[in-house]
Structure 1
Amino acid sequence: MVNNKNTGRGVFYIMSQQYIHLFKKGTAVLMLSTAFACAAMAEPTHGLEMYGAPELPADFTALPYVNPDAPKGGRIVTGEGGTFDSLNPFIQKGNAPWQLRFMMAEGLMGRAFSEPFTLYCLLCETVETDENRTWVEFTLRDEARFSDGSPVTVEDVMWSFETLGTKGHGRYAALWAQIERMEQTGPNKVKFTFNVENRELALLTAMRPILKKSYWDDKDFTQSGIENIPVTSAPYVVTDVNPGMYVELSRNPDYWGKDLPFMRGQANFDTVRFEYFADPSLVIEAFKAGELNAHREINVQIWDDHYDFPAVERGDVIKSVIPHQRPTGMTGFAMNTRLPQFADWRVRQAMIEAFNFDYINEAQTESQQSRITSYFSNSPLGMRPGPAEGRVLEMLEPYKDDLLPGVLEGYSFPKTSGREMDRGAMRRALKLMEEAGWTIQDGQMKNADGQPFTFEIVLSVGEDENQSIIDTYTQMLLQLGIQPKISIVDKAQYTQRMETFDFGMTPVRYGLSLSPGNEQYAYFGQVAAQTPGSRNIPGINDPVVDDLIARMLNATDREDSLAATRALDRVLSAGRYAIPLYAWNESYNAHVKELHYPESLPLYGDWIMWREMTWYWEEEK
């Protein structure tokens, strides 16, 4: 069974084709001689790492951040703001609980969050690839099963890739466009050959969710709703749902992989339940009332000031602070560089100068929260202070004539006085606006033609903290003669406006990992800047950014990848695309005393599904 793919698939195919020129000449077509030579070097293995070999040996007994002897039982109940109308997280249509994407299907391999980017076999028994990662081949486990007891087959794998890539959510299309050929190479073997040079593709392929083909034979995969609950190969199945109110999953007692070393100490709860609240502020109240038994707090002042209710004082509720070593990413307010108002970096720097972070931080958190210093800060991937040096400088020098001020010399977000009126910051902002062609005329910031400088700040309803911050910020902008329009819209309208980039400034959050990869194109790439619905909210349209992402992806060792990422961090930070807010270098989890987590924490800390998959229920003896 062979599937050759030669046709385009919309904008994502176009995106991948436009990026081909970034890779080494000649890699768009795979040469047979190279394939045969690499095949001779390939050997079956139990894991894949982005660079080098996995840390755990083939005979490992459990992941290092789980309690391998964790008891099974109990339940975890958490809350979410908003609503949902679908149980299919794999398609574009509808609004499914985001957790279902990770809980309803397994990949051929599973990710270990004790390492930057390492996968270990899950649905597959072994994996093979060549030195240059131009292809990857998986041997499925004979015992792998779906929740209905049927075996996971090569046919299911191939159907899943093609269906997700052509009919699924847009997040799956880019990888599908970069697969030249997929073929069944044995009774339990499936091989993928790529049409570009990109070392990450083998790992991305290994993580694609695998669905049951025959379940969808008489159903329309593209339609959302709650009447169809996809059959899963994962430890949990949806057993109870009330549309828009809650969804409950139960641990499958016949789960096929419960004895695998990779799964030992994971999927410990009998029940995982997500409650939904139209008003997000009610989530904490539901936790205090005992309707929820775990809650993640994101505001450090609320954490310190509002978690003194009786259950905490009695010791029935525990407050746990979980550190991590992953990048801060970028949380703040993005400026839409597609608009002429924000096309000039000096205007964007002026907006950053006018944002009195220290004053806002005192008002919001009593100055208890630190600020993001760059996109990859809090990690080894972050740019270093001062001028670029060594390998980073070598990578940036070819672009020196196109780089914004601060990239080579060093860039940092401005310090503010903490006083309500920071005159120094305002003087710097006024000077920058004047250099960009804007001056205060009759109390208003205007250009030479007398046109006022204004823009629209778009917020989603229920974002009380962002609204409070923006209210304070607009008072600061008034000192510059700038009066933006503030629009607070419902979730559906907000989503539509983000998809069409209909805003001047809006909240943004990029959660970056210790293994940045192809998703960087979706966040910051040129093609994504003009693709409706993309994650490139600020409209970053810089060929240097694309080139550095390509350097990062095609690095053959961690040192080169590290240098490329630090260089990228400099270009993004000095691009002044967003006004940075808080750095969450710790997470704050309140939970009932019966909920426990392993003593050994993963490198990523409180990360995706860490609570649901590695915590466990144990009552006091």
Structure 2
Amino acid sequence: MKFAFRCIIPALVLVLSLSASGPAHAERVHALALHDTPKYGPDFTHFDYVNPDAPKGGLARFGAIGSYDNFNPFILKGIPASGAGLIYDTLMTKSNDEPFTAYGLLAESAEIAPDNTAITFYLHPEATFSDGEPVTADDVVFTFHALTEKGSPLYKRYYADVKAVTAVDQHTVRFDFVNGQNPELPLIVSELPVLPKHYWEGKDFSAVNLDVPIGSGPYKLSEYKTGSYVAYTLRDDYWGKDLPVNKGRNNFGTVRYDYYRDDTVAIEAFKAGEFDYRQERIAKEWATAYNGPPFDKGFIQLEEIQNSIPGGMQAFIMNTRRDMFKDPRVRYAMDFAFDFEWTNKNLFYGQYVRTESYFSNSELASFGLPSEDELKLLEPFRDQVPPEVFTTEYQAPKTDGSGNNRANLRKALELLAEAGYTLQNGVQTKDGKPLAFELMIRDPAFERIVLPYIRNLERIGVKVTPRLVDDSQYINRITAFDFDMITFPLGQSNSPGNEQRYYFSSEAADTPGTYNFMGVKSEAVDSLIDTIINSKSRGELITACRAMDRVLLWGHYVVPQWHTGYYRLAYWDLLTRPETIPPYGLDLWAWWIDPERAETIRAARGK
């Protein structure tokens, strides 16, 4: 849940000190970098991956699936409208060509206490909300309390180490920390979106609503029809449009999201010219659906663009709160029943790589045996984690792709027998109870993927019922941990930190609304999360992530699925992108509409 938006400030460059003592004295600075020197100095004019002369204007249309019932994207209830983040600015904004560096947006500069126990932000005096009211320190204080007390549980954990927030004066706000041991915390705080206190006074922040919101960002909500579309218009009076971090960005005059029932309908709508851009996530569609006259005539462009974004862990997730998944041997057996190689060959056209890390496609992923530095972190928990953490490199079960995975199914049967199950009349039973569960999915396209997996499980006596539910029911059930198995992507950033508590901590396991869907409760994982958060260098961060990766992998909480290291993009040729694509984010808001090509394309669509 890391926001990204825009800004600049004259001042000195700050690299967050990774020593215990911190810098000798506090300085007001224009940028915060976690482990490296900021790439862009105080006088930079724009990010390297934008076109500073990009034209502004035109209508950019995107597709969305399902529906929405809420314009407040910061709460747990309801389904927020796509694009709602365009309305809001944050204190600072990340660049997409650095692992984790933030440059000022609403804050023109920042000052970190020498011992890293506080950060002070100095707001742009010119910053205003879309109704003309100024953005003040009181708005920042209000936002922090609204998010942590009434917003999604994510915020309470994300900002757990913030002790107090104080408005020093109208344009100065100070965050005090529990201690100075968290080098990432100043950057985490800098990601805070700022909401208008005057707008929310007298309203229930936690309630689902469709009131048109007010924000300080580049766009304002201009038109909507629930279940159909929502549109945002670029503000002529946007206070930050000339800031260097915004130069060459926020180029679309209007951004519109049209809603479709499912991906199949959306693809046909895209090909018919009903919207302009699509990032394809289904391999079969990428291989087979993108053809026809618009492609032959060059009206639609197709691109595969490599990136360095961690793939995280997309997986079949097992809920260990359920009795059938409490035994790790049962969970491991589920892994041997999944034939990735056959799936990739027959369903994905060979486009994917098997995921074998919670930090896939990054240097944070574990490999081989633990290094000496990893062992120092793991050794105190030798009696609490699986022995394989120390002795064996994790590798997902493999097959030859022929569909004949008998060897793996035999291994699954052995594991189930070790867990006390007996195969009777084709059904695995223990204490008179069959091994049966529900696999809940929200996307009809996933049915063709899960059904072969279910057939393999049935071959070893495990009864699985697929359950397709709508978005609202899916969200409500996973929020309440009311499921047996789901398929879900646990995304990761290139600089993991406080959000790991939300994913894997023991506290999160007992807190509905978090992403600890597996129900992980491990002292080792809790300790390693703290080590990740308190890492004093990039090297320490990598070591801690790899160590935690091993513990999670050998805990067999999930059946890993797949990932890619590239974007699959399809877009009508009226859209133009910069020559440079940053390694850590696509930054679609640096694209623009070519007026001449737009006229040609739309004339062709009309015909």
Q: State TM-score, norm by structure 2.
A: 0.91
Is 2:45 aligned against 1:61? yes
Cα contact 1:323–1:605 (8 A) shared by 2:
no
Counterparts in 2 of 1:307 and 1:126: CA distance versus 1, 3 Å: same
Aligned to 1:343: 326
Distance 2:168 2:36 in 1: 26
Distance 1:354 1:175 in 2: 36
Which residue identity does 2:67 align to in structure 1?
T
1:175–1:201 CA contact under 8 A, matched in 2: no
SS at match of 2:119: strand
* Corresponding position: 1:195 with 2:195: no
Cα 1:146–1:66 change in 2 (3 A) is same
Displacement, 1:218? 4.4
- DSSP 3-state at the match of 2:354: coil
**Separation in 2, partners of 1:91, 1:483:** 36
Q: 1:466 to 1:406 in 2, by over 3 A?
A: farther
Aligned partner of 2:52: which letter?
A: P
- Aligned residue in 1 for 2:355: 372
Change (3 A) 1:383 1:147: same
Asked if the contact 1:430/1:439 (under 8 Å) is kept, the reply is no
User: In the alignment, is the contact (CA less than 8 A) between 2:91 and 2:106 conserved in 1?
Assistant: yes
8 Å CA contact 1:269–1:617 kept in 2: the answer is yes
2:489 matched to 1:514? no
User: Structure 1 counterpart of 2:491, which letter?
Assistant: G
Tell me, yes or no, if the aligned pair for 2:318 and 2:325 is still in contact at 8 Å: yes
Residue in structure 2 matched with residue 258 of structure 1 by the alignment: 241
From 71, 74, 77, give the equivalent of 2:55. Answer: 71
Partner of 1:331: 314
1:389 aligns with 2:365: no
Aligned residue number for residue 481 of structure 1: 461
Aligned equivalents of 1:108, 1:490: Cα separation in 2 = 36
1:614 aligns with 2:599: no
1:614 maps to a residue whose letter is A
Deviation at 1:494, TM superposition (A): 2.0
CA distance in 1, matches of 2:206, 2:378: 44
Distance 1:300 1:480 in 2: 29
User: Which residue matches 2:90?
Assistant: 107
Tell me the CA shift for residue 161 of structure 1. 1.6
Aligned residues: 575
Does residue 453 of the first structure (1) align with residue 435 of the second (2)?
Answer: yes
Alpha carbon RMSD of aligned pairs, Å?
A: 1.8
Deviations 1:517-560 (A, max 9, x none): 11111111111111122211111111111111100110111111
The alignment status of 1:535 with 2:515, answered yes or no, reads yes
1:420 corresponds to: 403
Per-residue CA distance 1:292-318 (angstroms, 9 max, x = gap): 011111122321221112101100010
Match of 2:224 in 1: 241
| Residue pair 2:120, 2:174 contacting (<8 A) in 1 also | yes
Secondary structure (helix, strand or coil) at the match of 2:562 reads coil
Deviates more, 1:191-200 or 1:263-272: 191-200
- Secondary structure at the counterpart of residue 63 of structure 2: strand
Task: Give structure 2 stretches of 5+ with no counterpart.
Answer: 1-20, 598-607
**Where in structure 1 are there 5+ consecutive unaligned residues?**
1-36
Deviation at 1:437, TM superposition (A): 1.3
Q: How does 1:87-486 map to 2 (within 5 A)?
A: 87-100=71-84, 102-175=85-158, 177-196=160-179, 197-226=181-210, 228-384=211-367, 386-408=368-390, 409-447=392-430, 449-460=431-442, 463-486=443-466
Taking the aligned partners of 2:506 and 2:578, their CA distance within structure 1 comes to: 42
Q: Distance in 2 between matches of 1:199 and 1:556?
A: 7
**CA separation of 1:499/1:223 partners in 2, compared to 1, >3 Å: closer, same or farther?**
closer
Does the Cα contact within 8 Å between 2:229 and 2:258 map onto a contact in 1? Answer: yes
Q: Is the 8 A contact 2:82 2:230 kept in 1?
A: no
SS in 2 for 1:540: coil
Distance 2:462 2:170 in 1: 67
- Counterpart selection for 2:560 from 567, 571, 580: 580
CA displacement 1:267-313 (0-9 Å, x = unmatched): 01101111111333211111011110111111223212211121011
Q: What are the within-5 Å matches in structure 2 for residues 525-604 of structure 1?
A: 525-604=505-584
Quote the Cα distance in structure 1 between the aligned partners of 2:122 and 2:24. 17
What is the CA-CA distance between 1:225 and the residue it aligns to?
2.1
Which residue type is aligned with residue 202 of structure 1?
P
Instruction: Give 1:440's aligned amino acid.
Output: L
Segment drifting more, 212-221 vs 40-49: 212-221
Give the partner amino acid of 2:182. N
Aligned letter for 2:436? Answer: T
- Paired residue for 1:505? 485
What's the offset of the Cα at 1:176? 5.2
| Structure 2: distance between partners of 1:187 and 1:534 | 35
The amino acid across from 2:109 in the alignment is T
Q: Is the 8 A contact 1:134 1:199 kept in 2?
A: no
Residue matched to 2:5: none
C-alpha spacing 1:481/1:124, structure 2 compared with 1 (3 Å): same
| Rounded Cα–Cα distance in structure 1 between residues aligned with 2:154 and 2:208 | 17
Question: Secondary structure at the residue paired with 1:41?
Answer: coil
The residue type equivalent to 1:577 in the other structure is Y
Quote how far apart the aligned CAs of 1:247 are.
0.5
TM-superposition CA deviations, 1:156-197 (whole Å, max 9, x none): 222222222222232222355532222233442111101244
* Aligned-partner residue type, residue 86 of structure 1: N
Please tell me the residue identity of whatever aligns with 2:496: P
Shift of 1:41: 1.2
Distance 2:183 2:415 in 1: 42
Aligned partner of residue 528 in structure 2, secondary structure: helix
- Which letter does structure 1 place at the counterpart of 2:536? T
Give secondary structure in 2 for the equivalent of 1:506: strand
TM-fit CA distance, 1:382:
0.9
Deviations 1:484-518 (A, max 9, x none): 22222232222222122222211111111101111
